[in-house]
């Protein structure tokens, strides 16, 4: 039993981007959060440089779009070139299915500062630098964290922080992961890379070049605020100490800038690519996220983004458990859902690195194959639109199978027996994937992104139907207790009529007009008309209108949510009061 009140709901270890994002999300949900960081301040040298649309959608959720967008370059175009400068592949995705451009260049130290400043909005969130985690002890209902208070490298005090849960976000050398006893499986190739960051960009071009040059592979990246990054592969006979030599840096850059001796170098570092993943992301009340849970090479810019996906997935689940609304087995789905996708991203990045580092002989084969494949439009678009990137799809976890409404799992294809009902051209189930975010209209907002209408918790949305009429009175009681938002999507010309017609619904219904037709197109392609959206915008379940009530019951079972009050006959019902 707890002998004294806990100090915080969640102790976040590490004030990197993942820890800061998790704290912002939990702060937005009103949770008590303590962030500790062993360093005296945020890291000030550039690290991550690529941000994707999924991450930017999470930035939208925490309300920091304007603050962070100023440090980004949207539509970052990547060109893979060979040693002769000939273009092999262009990666320039123009889709905005999730509301934002697919790729952004960004300056991580500046974005991290905005995430840190964002925590000032929440009275329930505290941040402490110079605090290093040194021990953990799990009790029945909380964790005791022993923390050294540092002045520089000197320990000046020791304190104990009692937290309901601890999340280690302290990077690849995570103390938290070691304490959990988790393996860190994968590879650490011996290849070293020199990173050089330069202010007052001597080139001034905005995009990215991946130089698959057998003589020396390189990367050249145009970043916001006139920062240019170069990365060069070091050979085995080149000692790391050479990076301190101005002459060596000038040699690296002589083929890339008019005058390599006249550069404003911000800093240079040597790093080794890693492809590793922890054997589990959870042990009881202790969890890990970001680099503490998985490390991946930088080629496709997914290390930063994978960590943000972790935070997005974990925050709402911790919130539900902390509110006393869910059995903590819900937290097992964090590992179930995130580990598989993180592993897929690691494998893809390792493959991309092999392509970059091909020697002269293999490079000729690669160049010939790339040239041939670029002739085929479908193959060319595969690279241009970034369709090679595995989008998260959760086949297990907080999902419901569309075919038989089995909670906890979902197959990728819709059964043939369902397709004739609506003659749908697409048999791919949307369950377990992220829902689109087009621009929409409501009575209050003439032009707004969908997430800004539906909020940051659960949503039940129906195309062309009043969802309150598809659920039983008992279901609607739970919906009201939950704060679940009911939404009706309609063609924009019908919106005013629907607003008047549904104004007297037993539970408030938000009518959303579809001026672009993108919502209608999404439902047109699938044999379903009702979706159950999780707080992280993934589709937990989908069904035809007549199946809404029974599907809702399956959603409740899949989420492990419990209703407060012993002996309640509907104890699996969702309750987030």
Q: 294-308, 405-419, 479-493: which has the highest mean pLDDT?
A: 479-493
Top pLDDT among 367 and 267 is at: 267
How high is the pLDDT of residue 351? 63
Per-residue pLDDT tens digits for 154-167: 999 999 999 999 99
How high is the pLDDT of residue 86? 79
* 301 pLDDT tier (thresholds 50, 70, 90): low
Contact 182, 280 (CB under 8 A): yes
How high is the pLDDT of residue 93? 79
- Average pLDDT of the chain is 86
Contact 131, 146 (CB under 8 A): no
Give the least confident one: 58-67, 320-329, 485-494, 525-534: 320-329
Q: Beta strand 184-187 with 218-223: parallel, antiparallel or unpaired?
A: unpaired
Q: Is the pLDDT of residue 439 over 80?
A: yes
Contact 62, 24 (CB under 8 A): yes
* 273 pLDDT tier (thresholds 50, 70, 90): confident
- 3-class secondary-structure state, position 97: coil
pTM (two decimals): 0.89
Please count the residues of the chain: 577
How high is the pLDDT of residue 76? 85
How high is the pLDDT of residue 357? 54
How high is the pLDDT of residue 47? 78
Rounded CA gap, 373 and 210, in Å? 18
* Beta-bridge partner residues of 489: 463, 512
How high is the pLDDT of residue 567? 42
Q: Which residues of 448-465 are buried (b: 16+ CB within 10 A; e: fewer)?
A: ebbbbbbebbbbbbbbeb
Give the least confident one: 27-36, 404-413, 417-426, 516-525: 417-426
* 275 pLDDT tier (thresholds 50, 70, 90): confident
**% of the chain at pLDDT higher than 70:** 85
How high is the pLDDT of residue 521? 94
How high is the pLDDT of residue 319? 95
Q: Is the pLDDT of residue 31 over 60?
A: yes
Per-residue pLDDT tens digits for 207-254: 888 888 888 888 999 999 999 999 998 988 888 888 888 899 899 899
**% of the chain at pLDDT higher than 90:** 60
Top pLDDT among 318 and 324 is at: 318
Per-residue pLDDT tens digits for 339-392: 887 887 777 655 655 555 544 544 443 344 445 444 444 434 434 444 445 567
Rounded CA gap, 222 and 226, in Å? 7
The predicted model gives 382-407 an average pLDDT of 75
The predicted model gives 398-418 an average pLDDT of 87
Which residue ranges form the domains of the chain, and what is each CATH number? 8-71+107-185+275-341 (3.50.50.60), 73-105+190-272+358-387 (3.30.9.10), 396-558 (3.40.30.10)
How high is the pLDDT of residue 27? 97
How high is the pLDDT of residue 95? 83
Positions of E strands within 264-321:
264-272, 275-278, 282-283, 286-288, 294-295
């Amino acid at each position: 039993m707890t002998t004294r009140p806990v100090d915080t709901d969640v102790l976040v270890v590490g004030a990197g981007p993942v820890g800061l994002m998790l704290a912002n999300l939990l702060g937005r949900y009103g949770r008590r959060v303590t962030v500790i960081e062993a360093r005296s301040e945020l890291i000030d040298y550039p690290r991550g440089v690529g941000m994707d649309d999924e991450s930017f959608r999470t930035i939208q959720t925490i309300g920091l779009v304007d603050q962070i967008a100023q440090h980004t370059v949207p539509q970052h175009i990547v060109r893979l070139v060979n040693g002769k400068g000939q273009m092999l592949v262009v990666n320039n995705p123009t889709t905005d299915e999730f509301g934002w451009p697919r790729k952004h260049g960004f300056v991580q130290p500046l974005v991290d500062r905005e995430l840190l400043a964002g925590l000032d909005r929440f009275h329930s969130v505290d941040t402490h630098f110079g605090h290093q985690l040194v021990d953990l002890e799990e009790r029945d209902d909380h964790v005791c964290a022993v923390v050294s208070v540092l002045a520089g490298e000197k320990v000046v005090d020791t304190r104990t922080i009692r937290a309901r849960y601890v999340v280690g976000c302290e990077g690849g050398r995570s103390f938290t992961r070691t304490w959990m006893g988790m393996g860190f499986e994968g590879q650490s190739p011996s290849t070293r890379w020199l990173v050089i960051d330069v202010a007052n960009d001597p080139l001034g071009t905005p995009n990215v070049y991946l130089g698959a040059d057998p003589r020396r592979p390189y990367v050249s990246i145009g970043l916001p605020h006139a920062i240019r990054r170069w990365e060069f592969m070091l050979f085995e006979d080149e000692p790391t100490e050479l990076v301190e030599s101005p002459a060596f840096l000038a040699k690296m850059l002589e083929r890339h800038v008019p005058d390599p001796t006249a550069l404003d170098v911000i800093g240079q570092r040597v790093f080794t690519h890693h492809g590793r993943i922890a054997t589990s992301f959870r042990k009881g009340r202790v969890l890990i996220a970001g680099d503490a849970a998985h490390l991946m090479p930088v080629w496709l810019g997914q290390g930063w983004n994978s960590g943000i996906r972790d935070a997005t997935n974990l925050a709402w689940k911790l919130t539900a458990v902390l509110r006393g609304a869910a059995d903590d087995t819900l937290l097992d789905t964090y590992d179930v859902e995130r580990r598989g996708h993180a592993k897929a991203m690691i494998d893809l990045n390792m493959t991309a690195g092999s392509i970059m580092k091909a020697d002269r002989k293999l490079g000729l084969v690669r160049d010939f194959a790339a040239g041939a494949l670029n002739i085929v439009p479908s193959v060319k678009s595969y690279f241009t639109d970034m369709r090679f990137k595995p989008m998260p799809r959760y086949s297990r976890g907080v999902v419901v199978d569309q075919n038989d409404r089995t909670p906890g799992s979902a197959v990728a294809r819709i059964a043939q027996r369902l397709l004739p009902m609506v003659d749908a051209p697409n048999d791919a189930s949307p369950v377990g994937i992220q829902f689109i975010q087009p621009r929409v209209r409501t009575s209050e907002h003439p032009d707004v992104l969908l997430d800004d209408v539906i909020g940051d918790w659960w949503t039940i949305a129906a195309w062309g139907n009043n969802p309150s009429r598809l659920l039983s009175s008992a279901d609607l009681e739970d919906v009201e207790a939950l704060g679940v938002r009911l939404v009706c999507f309609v063609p924009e010309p019908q919106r005013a009529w629907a607003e008047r017609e549904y104004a007297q619904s037993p539970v408030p219904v938000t009518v959303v007009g579809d001026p672009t037709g993108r919502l209608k197109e999404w439902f047109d392609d699938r044999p379903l008309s009702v979706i159950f959206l999780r707080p992280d915008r993934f589709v937990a379940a989908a069904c035809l209108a007549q199946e809404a009530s029974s599907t809702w019951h399956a959603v409740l079972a899949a989420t492990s949510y419990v209703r407060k009050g012993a002996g309640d006959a509907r104890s699996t019902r969702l309750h987030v009061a």
